[in-house]
Amino acid sequence: MEEPSSNQAPGVFESSDPSFLSRILDNVSDGVYFVDTERTIIYWNEGSEAISGFDSASVVGSHCYENILGHVDNEGKRLCHDGCPLTASMADGEERSAEVLLHHRDGHRVPVTVRAVPVKNESGEVVGAVETFRDDTARIEALERAQQMEEIAFLDALTRVGNRRFAEFTIADRLSEWKRHKWSFALLFIDIDHFKQVNDEYGHAVGDQVLTMVARTLQGVARTHDFIGRWGGEEFVMVVTGTDEPGLLSVAERVRTLVENSGLRTEKGEIRVTVSIGATVPEPGDSIESIIARADERMYRSKAAGRNCVTV
């Protein structure tokens, strides 16, 4: 039998040609990885590397509960130690699927759909599990929207989210729709805490990477019809459709939590940042200037309250 490929640890395919199976799985665009009953990763395909940024050499032999992918749900709950689909599948022998956000090697969050399937031996005993994961459709749609925005010069050159001009147009449109049809929306004004210290300690090039990381994390939170824009400097805006005042705090807290749980790996270690958020919904008599000013003022209340918090 041939030696196992570099993508896997010995012993996973005792009755099959590991090289042949590896070649097949490396031509699959989805991420595919196997774990044994101890949750040791014993195989990692090229699709996993493409989606997560982690190559097989840095992953095979480690344990998935070491938080390599850092799976969290849409509420920011960490799943690697509580709610892991792989663990649940191995425990009861049933398949699992879930929509989660994984932690890319570059620090940002990637929305994916995962599917966990138990692996059994000839006696029917569970000897491990396989998980597949792929980018959600919303990410593809976001890329298409980004291309459209780029064509009309509405993209921020660094972060590739909407620029201030596009943000102003979007807020004006949503406000007009609210006045005519009462279609609900919310405006979040988001500022990265202590960003000047990041630039001073790590340099502006790393600061730019942090801005991009935060922008991509916000894109991972956003739904298809939501809008993310860079207002300027370290400030971002998020326009959330279909959200009224009672649901506003939940949305803003999800944004805050996911940014807090993201990080950028550098030669000096991992950089983590937090954000202060001001959030509001439209009020009678609002103009684009007044709703922006109100969200901005509430963001500064969050700064004054100690940062890394939300004011609604």
Summarised one tens digit per residue, pLDDT across range 72-92 is 887 888 887 777 888 888 989
- As a whole number of angstroms, the distance between CA 211 and CA 148 comes to 22
Considering the domain 18-135 in this protein, what is its CATH number? Answer: 3.30.450.20
Beta bridge partners of 186: 240
pLDDT of residue 143: 73
Cα distances from 145 to residues 76, 222, 239, 254, 255, in angstroms, run 26, 13, 15, 23, 21
Helix pair 204-221, 195-202: axis angle to 10 deg = 140
Residue 173 burial (10 A CB sphere; 0-12, 13-18, 19+): middle
- Which residues of the chain register pLDDT less than 50? 1-4, 6, 9-15
Write out the H or E segment, with its range, that includes residue 42: strand 41-44
pLDDT of residue 155: 86
18-135 and 138-311 have identical folds: no
Query: pLDDT per residue over 118-149, tens digit each?
Result: 998 888 889 999 999 887 756 667 777 777 76
Active-site annotation, residues: 234
**60 with 8: CB under 8 angstroms?**
yes
What percentage of the chain exceeds 70 in pLDDT? 91
Comparing CA positions, the residue from 204, 307, 306, 209 lying closest to residue 262 is 209
- As a whole number of angstroms, the distance between CA 253 and CA 305 comes to 15
**162 with 171: CB under 8 angstroms?**
no
pLDDT of residue 12: 46
Q: What's the full length of the chain, in residues?
A: 312
pLDDT of residue 275: 98
Domains of the chain by residue range? 18-135, 138-311
CATH superfamily, with its number, for domain 138-311: Reverse transcriptase/Diguanylate cyclase domain (3.30.70.270)
Residue 218 burial (10 A CB sphere; 0-12, 13-18, 19+): buried
**254 with 287: CB under 8 angstroms?**
no
pTM score of the predicted model: 0.61
Helix pair 245-260, 204-221: axis angle to 10 deg = 140
Chain centroid to Cα 310, Å, comes to: 20
